[in-house]
Amino acid sequence: MGKLLVQKFGGTSLVDTKRLEAAADIIVKTISEGNSVAVVLSAMGVETDRLIDLAKAIHPEPNLREYDALVSTGEQISVALMAMALSKRNLKAKSYTAYQLGIQTNKRHGRARILDVKVEKLKKQIKKGVIPVITGFQGMNDEGDITTLGRGGSDTTGVAIAVALGADECQIFTDVDGVFTTDPRICSKARLLNQVSFEEMLELSSAGAKVLQLRAVEYARKNKMPIRVLSSFSESPGTLVEEIEEMERPVVSGISSLDNEAKLTIRGVPDLPGVAAKILSPISDSGIEVDVIVQNIGAENTTDFTFTVDQKDASSAEEILKNTSKSLGGGSIEMDDDIAKVSIVGRGMRGQSGIASKMFQVLADNEINILMITTSEIKISVVIQKDLMKKAVNALHDAFQLDKSLKA
Ligand code: ADP
Ligand code: ASP
Ligand code: MG
C-alpha cells in the first residue's frame, strides 16, 4: 500500500532550476510508486544568506518583524517554481505559504517555535490528488505577522507537517547521503550511519551537526515521527532517525563540530553566591542563548567567568557584560570568536569511564589546547582554537575508530 510521505528539500538541493527540476523528478518517482506526498522546501541555495546580507546592509540589527518578512521570501520562490515544475510533469500541485496554511508560531521573530499546524486544507488537496508544496522556515504569529524558525528551520516545518498529517515518515533530502559519524566535509573517513536514535541525533544536532535542525529532531522525537535523511543527488538508502530500543552501542557514535560561536570572559568579578545568575540573567533576558559556561577558581575573592554564545549575538552580549561589570565592580571583558567546539557523542558512553580522559589525551597528543570543557550524560564537548577544529575532528574520529562499524 502506498505511504503518506513528507519530502523536504534543502537549499543545497535547490541551488538552481536544474536542481529544482531534479527534486521534482524525485517527487514524481515517489508518486508513481503509489505514495502520496506533501512537499516542504527551503530557499534556493544561499538565497537566505543573500537576504540576510541585504537586511544587514540597511541596518546591523534590523527590526525583527521586517527581517522575518524579508528572509522568509526565499522559500516562496522555491514553492512556486516547484509547483510549476510538477505541473510541467503532469502532476497537480499547489504552492502554499505558512500564512495560507496557518502554521502558527509563538511571537519570537527570527527563532519562532511552531505551536500549531492547520492541515484540513492540505488533507483536502492530497485527497484530490494535488501535491501541496509548502514553504519551510516560515510561520505566522497570533497577530498574523510572518515569523521564521531559525537557520535550518525548514527541517522543522517538514517534521511539523508530517506530524500534523499523520504521515508515515518525514524524508529530508540534502546534499550528502545521510547522517554520518561526523561531517563528511570535514573528515573524509566519515561513515554513513543506517540508523541513529533520536537521543543521539539530538546531541549531534545540538553540538553542531546541521544536517538536521535540533528543533526538528526534538519535534520528531516528541511525536514519534521517523525521519529519513536522504541524498537528492544519489540513490543511497540514507539514514533512519527513530526511537531505537537499547542494544549494543559503540561508546562514541558520532562527532559534531561548530565554529560559529564566540567566547566572552568577564574578569575579576566578586566570588560570591549569586554572581553567575547576575551575569547570565541579563543575557538570557535579552533572548541570547548561552552555550558552554566555565567559572574559574576564584583568587583573592574574585573570579573569571567565561561563556559562549552564537557569534551573531556576541556584540550584544559584550555590551550587556560591560554594564554588568560596572554594576558588579568587575574588571575587563574579553571576546574571542576564533574558537570552535568539538563534541563526541554516544549512548554507549553512559556509565563508561575513561572516555573523557581518552578524548583529552588524543587532543594533547595532537598539540590541541583545550579552552573549555562541558559534558552531558552522552556527550563531551571541548572548546578549542578554530584553526585546529579539522585536526581535532579527524584525530578523534581515528582514535575512536568511527570509520569501523560495530558489526564489521
Ligand atoms: P540543506 O540545504 O539540505 O538543509 P544543510 O547544509 O543544512 O543542507 O545540511 C547538510 C550539511 O550538513 C552537509 O552538507 C554536511 O556538510 C553537514 N553535516 C554536518 N554534520 C553532519 C553529519 N554528521 N552527517 C551528515 N552531514 C553533516
Ligand atoms: N532557508 C532557511 C535557511 O537557510 C531555512 C532552511 O534552509 O532550512 O536557514
Ligand atoms: Mg539545512
* pLDDT surpassing 60 at residue 353: yes
pLDDT value at 291 more than 50: yes
Rounded distance between C-alpha atoms, residue 224 and residue 220, angstroms: 6
Q: Report angle CA 380, 382, 387 to the nearest 5 degrees.
A: 140
Among 226, 210, 96, residue whose Cα is nearest residue 163: 226
> If you take atom 21 of ligand 1, which residue's CA is the nearest one?
183
CA 185 to ligand 3 centroid distance, Å: 15
Residue 360, number of CB atoms within 10 A of its CB? 15
Distance 285 CA to ligand 3 centre (A): 28
Q: Which atom of ligand 1 is nearest to the CA of 179?
A: 24
Give distance in angstroms: CA of 295 to centre of ligand 3.
34
Chain CA centroid to CA 374, Å: 19
Q: Is 401 exposed, middle or buried (0-12, 13-18, 19+ CB in 10 A)?
A: middle
Distance 42 CA to ligand 1 centre (A): 14
pLDDT score of 249: 75
User: Which residues constitute the domain of residue 165?
Assistant: 4-175
What are the pLDDT digits (tens) for 263-273?
999 998 888 88
Residue 215 lies in a domain: no
This prediction's pTM: 0.94
Ligand 2 atom with the smallest distance to the CA of 49 is: 4
Ligand 2 — pocket residues by CB below 6 A? 10-11, 42-43, 48, 74, 136-137, 151-155
- Is residue 404 situated within a structural domain? no
pLDDT tens across 28-82, in order? 999 999 999 999 999 999 999 999 999 999 998 899 999 999 999 999 999 999 9
Instruction: Flag whether 279 is in a domain.
Output: no
Q: Which ligand is nearest to the CA of 179?
A: 1
Beta carbons of 205 and 151 less than 8 angstroms apart:
no
Name the pLDDT band for 143 (thresholds 50, 70, 90). very high
The closest of 227, 224, 157, 154 to 193, measured between CA atoms, is: 227
- C-alpha closest to that of 173 among 235, 113, 218, 225: 235
* CATH code, 97: 3.40.1160.10
For a pocket test of ligand 2, which of 8, 15, 48 has the largest count of ligand atoms closer than 8 A to its C-beta? 48
Compute the distance from residue 18 Cα to the ligand 1 centre, in Å: 21
- Which has the higher per-residue pLDDT, 393 or 296? 393
Each residue of 79-92: pLDDT tens digit?
A: 999 999 999 999 99
C-alpha–C-alpha distance, residues 43 and 151, integer Å: 11
Nearest CA owner, ligand 2 atom 5: 152
For atom 17 of ligand 1, the residue with the nearest CA is 211
- By most ligand atoms within 8 Å of CB, the mutation choice from 157, 183, 194, 197 for ligand 1 is 183
Pocket of ligand 1 (CB under 6 A): 10-13, 42, 152, 174-176, 179-180, 182-185, 204, 209-211, 254
**Helical (H) or strand (E) element with 131:** strand 130-135
CA–CA distance, 4 with 37 (Å, rounded to integer): 6
Determine the Cα–Cα distance for residues 273 and 163; give it in Å rounded to an integer.
Answer: 45
Average pLDDT for 210-229: 98
Nearest to 78 by CA among 111, 48, 99: 48
Q: What is the pLDDT of residue 408?
A: 41
Instruction: Tell whether 278 is covered by a domain.
Output: no
How far is residue 162's CA from residue 40's CA, in Å, rounded to a whole number?
A: 10
Confidence category of residue 328, pLDDT binned at 50, 70, 90 = confident
22-26, 36-40, 294-298, 377-381: least confidently modelled range: 294-298
Q: Which three cell numbers stand for residue 247?
A: 542494544
What mean pLDDT is predicted for residues 377-384?
96
Work out the pLDDT band at 162, boundaries 50, 70, 90.
very high
Does residue 337 carry a pLDDT above 80?
yes
Residue 262 lies in a domain: no
> Hey, whose CA ends up nearest to atom 9 of ligand 2?
151
Of the candidates 342, 386, 389, 372, the one whose C-alpha atom is nearest the C-alpha of residue 265 is 372
Residues 48 and 11 sit within 8 Å (Cβ to Cβ): yes
As a whole number, the mean pLDDT across the chain is 95
Amino acid at 385: Q
Evaluate whether residue 143 is within a structural domain: yes
Confirm if 42 and 20 have CB atoms less than 8 A apart: no
Read off the pLDDT of each residue in 114-118 and give the average, rounded to a whole number.
Answer: 96
Mean pLDDT value across residues 213-238: 97
Nearest-CA neighbor of 114 among 213, 30, 190? 213
So what's the pLDDT on residue 74? 98
Considering every ligand atom, which ligand is closest to the CA of 154? Answer: 2
The pLDDT of residue 88: 98
Domain count, the chain: 1
